[in-house]
Amino acid sequence: MKQLNESGFVPIKQQITVLLSSLVLPLSVMAASPANKADTEQIQRGEYLARAGNCMGCHTTRGGKPYAGGRQLNTPFGLFTAPNITPDNETGIGSWNGEDFWQALHYGKGKDGSYLYPVFPYTEYTKITRQDADAIFAYLRSLSPVAQTNPPHKITSPYDNQFLLFLWRTWYFKEGVYEPDHSRSEDWNRGNYLVQGLGHCNACHTPRNVWGASKEDKLAGGEIMGTYWYAPSLISPKEAGVGDWSTDEIVRLLSTGVSAHAVTSGPMATIVRQSLQYLSDDDLRAVAVYLQSLGEKRSDAIPGKIPPMPERVRRYLALGETVYEKRCQDCHGKSGEGVPGVYPSLAGNRSVTMISPLNTVRSVLYGGFPPATAGNPRPYGMPSFQHIIRDQEIAWVVSYIRNAWGNFGSLVSPEDVDSSRGNEF
């Protein structure tokens, strides 16, 4: 209690002392709050950006702890293991600073200055701004450290030579932060940045040469290294080009995995589930605007007349029709019309008629499952048929689907079915 003097008043000196002491805490809070708020905002932004870049997709193994690494990717150049990027001092990036992290993303170099292999997509991440890189690093530093030592890479000789990697970088890698095109809209530039940089879509959707480098025809489609899935062209209306789609249709597909015209499956379904569904509406629309600008309209690229079919091809497709009627017709319909919002239409389905039949074959082998997302929490899926029908029957039915109801695609052989499994068995 306050001590009163004889007159019943608190002495002036004591009043001043109490007043000053009462100001100490608020002043310290006022001084600290802006910095803490800024740190929190940067971490939250970093978490969002890490989602947008799907960092967890590579740096988390199945059933493992987030960002602790261990996932392995098999390539023609060897077996690569994603590292631990939690802030553990011994096995993660706990000893890294912001400059070390920037060096990895922007220049493709490790903390010790060694060249990183482009299985880590620094060829795209180089476009990320320093501000965004620092935010991602702040988020990773905020995670709980996980002490997890992962297996080393098993790189085939001579590709384990740093000098050869230096030559590869000289020929195929050009570092540089994304530069906006001021003749384009803000949405277009944001979409370009997300697709070409943070989202690293070229890593899957661009064909590669024999040295594993992306070719010049960006986003023109290609087999995803180490997965035996085909990432379709985002330019061609014969594949996954969306030049004649509305912005809303594209946003729906990216955010839910399904739309009136398409369903995502395989690796793309995983991307939607783990990454794209968490993007803001503004960023999804920016991506949509950019993708719309890339390719031709469908009417400009689809041939108007299908050539006559030889008799031997007719007989081959008739065998596939028999399998379709027995195994597929109940869901996808007699004329391949499907059920809107439940079973996708196969008639006019670009994923069925793409140049590569790989995705259709694998969907029949392993089943087809759209992602479970907030906008589509209970998706319908297709069961696996690899234990029910033979490779020959799969070849027949996929060939039939690719050439029925006005579709036009190449025939599939049993050898194609077998090779689509890769080295999984």
> Cβ neighbours of residue 425 under 8 Å, at least 6 residues apart?
none
Q: For the segment 318-355, what is each residue's pLDDT rounded down to a tens digit?
A: 999 999 999 999 999 999 999 987 888 999 999 999 99
- DSSP secondary structure code for residue 109 in this structure: B
290 closest CA partner among 209, 358, 189, 380: 189
User: What would the mean pLDDT of 164-168 be, rounded to a whole number?
Assistant: 97
Instruction: Report how far residue 179's alpha carbon sits from residue 308's, in angstroms, rounded to the nearest whole number.
Output: 50
Q: For the segment 125-163, what is each residue's pLDDT rounded down to a tens digit?
A: 999 999 999 999 999 999 999 999 999 999 999 999 999
Name the 3-class secondary structure at 364. helix
Helix axes 130-142, 12-52, angle to 10 degrees: 110
139 closest CA partner among 47, 34, 239: 47
Note whether 186-299 and 307-419 share their fold. Answer: yes
The answer to whether residues 182 and 245 touch, using CB atoms and an 8 Å cutoff, is no
* Structure-token pair, residue 372: 């479970």
Domains in the chain: boundaries: 186-299, 307-419
3-class SS string, 172-200: HCCCCCCCCCCCCCHHHHHHHHHHHHHCC
User: In terms of pLDDT, which residue wins out, 28 or 68?
Assistant: 68
Strands 154-155 and 229-231: unpaired
Place of tokens 């809209």: 185
The answer to whether residues 126 and 106 touch, using CB atoms and an 8 Å cutoff, is yes
Instruction: Report how far residue 177's alpha carbon sits from residue 102's, in angstroms, rounded to the nearest whole number.
Output: 11
Instruction: Report how far residue 39's alpha carbon sits from residue 126's, in angstroms, rounded to the nearest whole number.
Output: 24
250 closest CA partner among 300, 266, 258: 258
CATH topology of domain 186-299: Cytochrome Bc1 Complex; Chain D, domain 2 (1.10.760)
The reported pLDDT for the residue numbered 34 is: 59
Q: How confident is the model at residue 21 (pLDDT cuts 50, 70, 90)?
A: very low
Question: Which strand (E) or helix (H) includes residue 230?
Answer: strand 229-231
Q: How confident is the model at residue 303 (pLDDT cuts 50, 70, 90)?
A: low
Instruction: Assign domain 307-419 to its CATH architecture.
Output: Orthogonal Bundle (1.10)
Break the chain down into helix, strand, coil percent, rounded to 5.
45, 5, 50
User: In terms of pLDDT, which residue wins out, 321 or 425?
Assistant: 321
Alpha carbon separation from 406 to 43, 262, 278, 288, 297 (Å, rounded) = 52, 18, 37, 29, 19
Q: How confident is the model at residue 420 (pLDDT cuts 50, 70, 90)?
A: very high
Mean pLDDT of the chain: 89
Strand partners, 229: 224
Instruction: Report how far residue 319's alpha carbon sits from residue 396's, in angstroms, rounded to the nearest whole number.
Output: 6
The answer to whether residues 203 and 196 touch, using CB atoms and an 8 Å cutoff, is no
The answer on pLDDT for 8 being more than 50 is no
188 closest CA partner among 104, 299, 294, 81: 294
pTM here? 0.86
* Structure-token pair, residue 177: 């932060």
The answer on pLDDT for 283 being more than 80 is yes
The reported pLDDT for the residue numbered 406 is: 93
Name the 3-class secondary structure at 13. helix
The answer on pLDDT for 31 being more than 60 is no
Name the 3-class secondary structure at 46. helix
Q: Which of 98-112, 218-232, 303-317, 360-374 has the lowest mean pLDDT?
A: 303-317
Q: For the segment 377-387, what is each residue's pLDDT rounded down to a tens digit?
A: 999 889 999 99
